[in-house]
Amino acid sequence: MTTSTTRSVFMGPRLRRLRRDLGLTQADMAADLEISAPYVALLERNQRPVTADMLLRLARTYKIDLTDLAGDGGVDHTARMQSILKEPMFSDIDIPSLEISDIATSFPGMTEAFLRLYTAYREEQLALADRRAPALAGLASPADTEGFDASDPVAEVRRFLAARRNNFADIDDAAERLSDAAGGPNGFVERLKNRHDLRVRHMPPDVMLGSVRRLDLHRRQLLLEDSLDTASLHFQLAQQLAYLEMDNEMSAALAAGHFTTKNAEQLARRALGGYAAAALIMPYSAFAKAVDARRYDLEALARQFGASFEQTAHRITTLQRPGQEKIPFFLIRVDPAGNISKLLDGAGFPFAKHGGACPLWSVHGVFRTPRQIVTQWLELPDGQRFFSIARTVTAGGGAYGAMRVERAIAIGCAAEHAGQLIYTQNGAGPSAEAPTPIGVACRVCHRPKCAARSALPIGRELLPDDFRRLSVPFGFSSD
């Protein structure tokens, strides 16, 4: 006697979408599949399972790929919903995981609507915080903040990234497939040649005229400055591949941003191009596995993947794929003057929206110890603690006489995650019992005994120094 096992799945919404995409009525589909119209209706309402035999019949009849038809069972939507429903605003609602999975699988349209609505809500909250910041800091009246940052493309892109936790799962998925097909960074040149008929040429700076990468479609060649180091070379190759082969994924992410200015959209596309390049060099699954094995050792990870320290630090901030989240990190990049040129917050660090950061933070002092990692425990006035890892990085300067730009970057996480990092193992680094007391910025920091203070806190009255001069720059009442 022959036995067989029939696997049943419920996929009513997907079946209904397929039928409508094909322009068929339920009666039409029933006739094609040699079943009854009421049975099609039951399948679409998830009142009957779609068996393996029915899946094969659908695939043969309509000449579609079986995996496309079956889909992922809502796995991605389920993971994204579970991640969002962990937010504090939903903490009082008991939603079993099975219910979330059922909703994502049975009602993909409603699930997508919920996800879009939540993302739009996050963007609006971040925009509102930006608009309120000057008034809350006493730098402007509420009326003055109307439309504040409305035309600031950098602020708009930062909100776009923050609302999505600096993670784009579709780009990660596409990058993993492309990286596998190319054979990793060492295969990028061959991929460009075989797939796009592009020859890679390395040219001196005087020929590149200020560019490090230029695509010459007329001559079918990709020109790269010949002074690029290996990490930068791989990054430029990866970014060009991303623009050529991952445009659909990047365009979809951009469309979801609804940018108000062309500059913001262009900056966001550049950010996504960089994201895709890093995802090609450091594919999500392999990199996430290595992060656990190396305990977030940035220098070891950089060597393993042939990336720079900054590229590796940036990639670590993106490991928030729903269902596969790692430690959430923030990243900041500053120059010796304190100007912030990159800011990614995935760890809830209260960065100042305007003005400089706290001078007691080691990110401003690592210029004295170039290329050395400096770790630091930080404590904010409200008691929040973070662990910071800072180091200098160099941009440019690939040849004698070329301009070099020195910057410092710091990444950090909330104190409760620091125990998972190699930098806190076996007594490494400073003690958690002696954190450095820092503020967000001098104007909103009310620590009275700070010799590094550069401004009087908002709302505090300066004490006269007629009879007593304090050792701190600004003496003010503590009540």
pLDDT in tens, 206-234: 899 889 999 999 999 999 999 999 999 99
Range in 7-11, 111-115, 124-128, 367-371 the model is least confident about: 7-11
pLDDT for the residue numbered 1: 40
Sorting pLDDT into bands at 50, 70 and 90, what band is 6? Answer: very low
Range in 36-40, 106-110, 292-296, 393-397 the model is least confident about: 106-110
Mean pLDDT, rounded, for 73-81: 72
pLDDT for the residue numbered 260: 87
467 has a pLDDT exceeding 80:
no
Mean pLDDT, rounded, for 97-102: 78
60 has a pLDDT exceeding 50:
yes
Domain residue extents for the chain: 8-71, 77-150, 327-445
Sorting pLDDT into bands at 50, 70 and 90, what band is 67? Answer: low
pLDDT for the residue numbered 445: 82
- The share of the chain scoring above pLDDT 70, in percent, equals 89
Sorting pLDDT into bands at 50, 70 and 90, what band is 135? Answer: very low
Strands of the sheet with 213-216, listed across from one edge: 199-203, 221-225, 213-216
User: Which residues does 178 contact at the CB level (< 8 Å), separation at least 6?
Assistant: 241, 245, 246, 280
Mean pLDDT, rounded, for 325-344: 92
pLDDT for the residue numbered 251: 94
Mean pLDDT, rounded, for 364-374: 95
Query: Within 10 A of 400 (CB to CB), how many other CB atoms are there?
Result: 6
pLDDT for the residue numbered 149: 53
82 has a pLDDT exceeding 70:
yes
Mean pLDDT, rounded, for 140-165: 69
Between 248 and 15, the more confident residue is 248
Domain 327-445, architecture per CATH: 2-Layer Sandwich (3.30)
DSSP3 helix / strand / coil % (the chain, rounded to 5): 50, 15, 40
Average pLDDT, the chain: 85
User: CB–CB of 58/67 below 8 Å?
Assistant: no
114 has a pLDDT exceeding 90:
no
pLDDT for the residue numbered 123: 75
CA distances from 93 to 74, 84, 90, 322 (A): 22, 13, 6, 20
Residue 476 DSSP one-character state = B
Mean pLDDT, rounded, for 401-409: 88
Give CA–CA dist 342/344, Å, rounded. Answer: 7
Maximum separation of any 2 CA atoms in the chain, in Å: 105
Smallest CA-to-CA distance from 133 within 118, 155, 162, 157 is with 155
pLDDT for the residue numbered 410: 96
Mean pLDDT, rounded, for 388-407: 86
Q: If you average pLDDT over each of 5-14, 82-91, 387-396, which comes out highest?
A: 387-396
20 CB-contact burial (10 Å; exposed 0-12 / middle 13-18 / buried 19+): exposed
The structure tokens listed for 381 are 């006035």
Residue 399 DSSP one-character state = S
142 has a pLDDT exceeding 60:
no
240 three-class SS? helix
> Chain-centre distance of CA 182, in angstroms?
24
Domain 8-71, architecture per CATH: Orthogonal Bundle (1.10)
Smallest CA-to-CA distance from 192 within 235, 240, 224 is with 240
72 has a pLDDT exceeding 70:
no
pLDDT for the residue numbered 140: 44
User: Which strand (E) or helix (H) includes residue 316?
Assistant: helix 309-316
Q: Whole-prediction pTM value?
A: 0.75
| Within this chain, domains 8-71 and 327-445 share the same CATH topology | no
Smallest CA-to-CA distance from 286 within 319, 242, 253, 323 is with 319
pLDDT tens for 229-265 read 999 999 999 999 999 999 999 999 999 888 988 999 9
pLDDT for the residue numbered 68: 63
CA distances from 41 to 62, 108, 456 (A): 18, 18, 70
pLDDT tens for 177-209 read 999 999 999 999 999 999 999 999 999 988 998
pLDDT for the residue numbered 98: 78
pLDDT for the residue numbered 8: 54
- Beta-bridge partner residues of 391: 409
Between 240 and 108, the more confident residue is 240
Mean pLDDT, rounded, for 345-372: 85
Q: Give 107-114 contacts, CB < 8 A, sequence gap 24+.
A: 107/13, 108/13, 108/14, 108/74, 108/77, 109/13, 111/74, 111/77, 111/81, 112/77, 114/81
71 has a pLDDT exceeding 70:
no
